[in-house]
A and B are shown apart, each in its own frame.
Chain A
Amino acid sequence: MNKITYDICIVGSGAGASPVAYTMAKAGAKVLVLEKGPWLTEKEFFKDELAISIHDAYNPKLSEEQHVIEEQYEDGDSNSFWQREKTSDSGWTWWNGNVVGGSSNFMSGYFHRLKPVDFRLKSEFGAIKGANVADWPISYEELEPYYAMVEREVGVSGRVVQHPHQEPRSTDFPYPPIAEVPMSLWIDKAAEKIGYHAVPIPRAVLSQPAMGRRSCEYSGYCSRYGCSSGAKGSGRAALLNHAVTTGNCTIKPNAKVYKIATDDTGKITGVHYYDAQGRQQSVRAKIYVVACQAVETSRLLLASKGKKFPNGLANNSGQVGKNLLFSGGGAGSGDFIYDQLNEQQVSELKVVGPFINRALQDWYQIDDNAFTGANTKGQAKGGTIDFLFHQNPIARARGTQWGLDNEGEDKLLWGEELKQSIKQEFTTYKTLRFEVFNDWLPTDDCFVALDEEVTDKWGDPVAKVRIGYHQHDLEVGEYLSVKAEKLLVALGAKNISSSVSGYPATNLMAGGCRFGDDSKTSVLDKNCRAHEVDNLYVTDGSFMPTGGSVPYTFTIYANAFRVADKIKQHWQQLYSSHLKV
């Protein structure tokens, strides 16, 4: 058996992993980070649409590593059934950035905090039939100092304004807001006119150089693009680089963990992984941390069977993989037609580089008799609406090759007709988009399991994900979309539309290893330590019993910093008991 070489072994390197690596390396612990993907730096991120969206170059090929997705269908007699499909057949990738720093390299960095109500949805709104809503075992007040810590250590730029749903804050933002486009003011004015409160969006993007990182350089391509200036607060740029400089943190890229082994008593005997050459390796540590993003974390625990854990590590409750969460809601848009606007307005619309950074949270809690949602008083958890521009030109060009023939049928355009179509698409209007984020209710029909047939390129079973949703999510999403469309009307936008669906945005996932006080209904305790394994923690978004109505990354960071403090205490206890011996 290998000797124990490390104090902490962390599987994964993203927003859930990097705060632990950072905190523990600074505390003097010997930390090992095992990351499946390569270790890239700022020098390997470009504003290249082919790399980011068209060929998905920062993720595995689906022929080598994939998922199996189960969707619900109806047959001709209205009987529903679950149908599985490999993502290598559908082309629907479920990877979000498999490199050191994980998907945090490719986040937009919309850093809204959760609000106090998110920690006690069941108490506030009651049970919803068909949903497994549960209160969190911690309160907003317990997490608040860690939100402030993330704002400081990862770097969040923003501005506090008072609005009806402003959550309590102990500190101001450490960095001023990043630069904004004129559209931000347009939104402020239109919102005021119709009684809405436009809120500046805090961003995990540095507005000033700090902590060895450059500030934002405003290329206009932020969104899902990797950051080449270091301004975006990825776990890699903001935390792992500092962890490594302590001399206490080793990052092992291209190391694919496939099993956490246990002995007959349930004690972890090592983490097994394939190295860059495909050789099987193993390593031992005093404390183990899993943070591979929700689906892969559940997959790893389910695959880590042992005598004490026949259904997977820490899964004698049968809860691992259950109550998986995404983000409910949808998206919409409206167009600004240049020849309906004056010269000044057109030139303001054409500004590219800075950010819109505006959100609406007026309906973070719905209190409206017209809402026919869960509770008879028209009260329900609502959500957030964010506004943005898209900048991907190839995606925009696709579609311009279609026109209508004399009979009104679709026809392919080419020649002079095509030139006019492309030119018109790019130079006569601009589209303002919005995205709706509302809670994805946990249900029995949304979970991770191991697939029984499909394996990855190393021969291990892939994750199978059932993606059922609750109808309530659509009702809330549609309620919010109508509100967002009203703002587009007030702005003078045309061609306004929106779409809400039960399809998950696969870049926004959480749950699968709930934390809670009852070991029968949760996998982790309130400190995200496995109920059944003393030295195993899960620090990505898997812990969330409900997910809130904002993107997850900020809360994953904050909770991982919170848990890192608990791990530090745990490690110091082990260390002092060792000294006593």
Chain B
Amino acid sequence: MATERTTPIGSYPLKSFFDKSYQTPLWFKEKELSKKVLSQQVSRRNLLKSAAGATGVIALPVFSLDSQAQNSLAKSKKTDPWLTLEVTLAHLLPVSATGPSSADINALAYLYQVMTVQPTSAQEKEFIVKGVGWLNSFANSKYNKTFVQLSFDEKELLLRGISRSSAGENWLNTLLNYIFEAMLTPPAYGGNPNGIGWQWLEHQGGFPLPKAGQRYFELPSRGKAKNQIAIREIEPTKESNRLVNIPLIKRTNKA
């Protein structure tokens, strides 16, 4: 499996979802998926914070999917990570009479596009793929099977189990976020075929919508730098004030 072949490096030298050293990274916080962040009113004057909590830029190797994944999704999804991801997405948004399933909204195709076409951060892609490995290791330790071989109830128990860890909760939340995006973005991104998500939720999509070639990462590019000059790091100045879990304050602009 792709994840097993890679030496753990960079931001995820973790062995499982339950590793105590895991800290929620900025790319995740920016998605504003945390209930605590959404509901918390933080008083700016009283907040004790330090730049020491910000870890700065960590050099990571460029993420690459294995050679199979460069082929079409149809071929790739027979193997991991896509096989496990498809089954996980189907468990998170199942087939039922109450609304579209992960297959109906093309959630896997959307996620495939996030991982192979959209300029998603290497850290996030690595986390998604590593999570597949951790999920299967956990399934193996509990049931001596891979995740896709489990019954519905076993899958449910296993996912509930990992959701009680910080890394597991963030991994599931990341997939749930992409389910939302697959359900509610313009169809050119690979999900929401014929606006099925909008119709289900009685939401009126806007117009005009982008087509392939007009997506956010395909807009005209910006001026080039003379030379790519490294950004110097700020030295932490108030080490003693460091808090481990700094909530990301929700800052919003006005209309």
User: Are A and B part of the same complex?
Assistant: yes
Does the CB pair B93–A418 fall under 8 Å?
Answer: yes
The reply to whether B254 and A331 contact each other, CB–CB distance below 8 Å, is yes
- CB atoms of B35 and A458 under 8 A apart: no
Inter-subunit contact B224/A401 (CB<8 Å)? no
Contact present for A228 and B173 (CB under 8 Å): no
Q: Which of A60, A279, A412, A414 contacts B93 (CB 8 A)?
A: A414
Binding site of B, secondary structure by majority: helix, strand, loop or mixed? loop
Give residues of chain B (11-56) contacting chain A, Cβ–Cβ below 8 Å.
Answer: 26, 29-33, 35-36, 38, 41, 44-51, 54, 56
Can you name the residue of chain A whose Cβ is closest to the Cβ of B51? A85
Contacts of A63 in B (CB 8 A): 57, 231
Q: Which residues of A contact B208 (CB under 8 A)?
A: 46-47, 228
Contact with B along A44-86 (1 / 0, CB 8 A): 1011111100110110100110101001111110001101111
In the complex, A220→B205 CA distance in Å?
9
- Name the residue of chain B whose CB is nearest to the CB of A402: B35
A458 and B99 contact, Cβ closer than 8 Å, known pairs A48-B216, A414-B92, A508-B253: no
How distant is A347 from chain B, measured CB to nearest CB, in Å?
A: 12
Decide: A51 and B202 in contact? CB cutoff 8 A.
no
A276–B220 CA distance with the chains assembled, in angstroms:
12
**Chain A min CB distance to B77 (Å):** 20
* A416–B48 touching, CB < 8 Å: no
CB distance from A352 to the nearest CB of B (A): 5
Tell me if A377 is interfacial: C-beta within 8 Å of chain B.
no
Q: Taking the complex as formed, is A501 at the interface, i.e. its CB lies under 8 A from any CB of chain B?
A: yes
8 smallest beta-carbon distances between A and B, as pairs: A47-B206, A254-B223, A51-B216, A89-B54, A221-B206, A426-B201, A457-B225, A57-B216
New A-B pairs, 19, CB < 8 Å, besides A38-B220, A423-B201: A36-B223, A38-B219, A40-B219, A46-B208, A47-B207, A48-B185, A49-B184, A73-B49, A74-B46, A98-B222, A224-B253, A274-B223, A276-B224, A278-B223, A278-B227, A279-B226, A353-B204, A401-B173, A507-B254
B residues near A, CB below 8 A?
26, 29-33, 35-36, 38, 41, 44-51, 54, 56-57, 91-94, 96, 98-99, 156, 159, 163, 169, 172-173, 176-177, 180-181, 183-186, 189, 198, 200-210, 214-217, 219-229, 231-234, 237-238, 241, 248-249, 251-255
A interface with B by C-beta (< 8 Å): 36-40, 44, 46-51, 54-55, 57-58, 60, 63-64, 66, 68, 71-76, 80-81, 83-86, 88-92, 98, 108, 110, 217, 219-221, 223-225, 228, 254-256, 274-280, 327, 329, 331, 350, 352-353, 386, 388, 391, 393-394, 397-402, 410-412, 414-416, 418-420, 422-423, 426-427, 435, 437, 453-455, 457-459, 499, 501-503, 505-508, 551
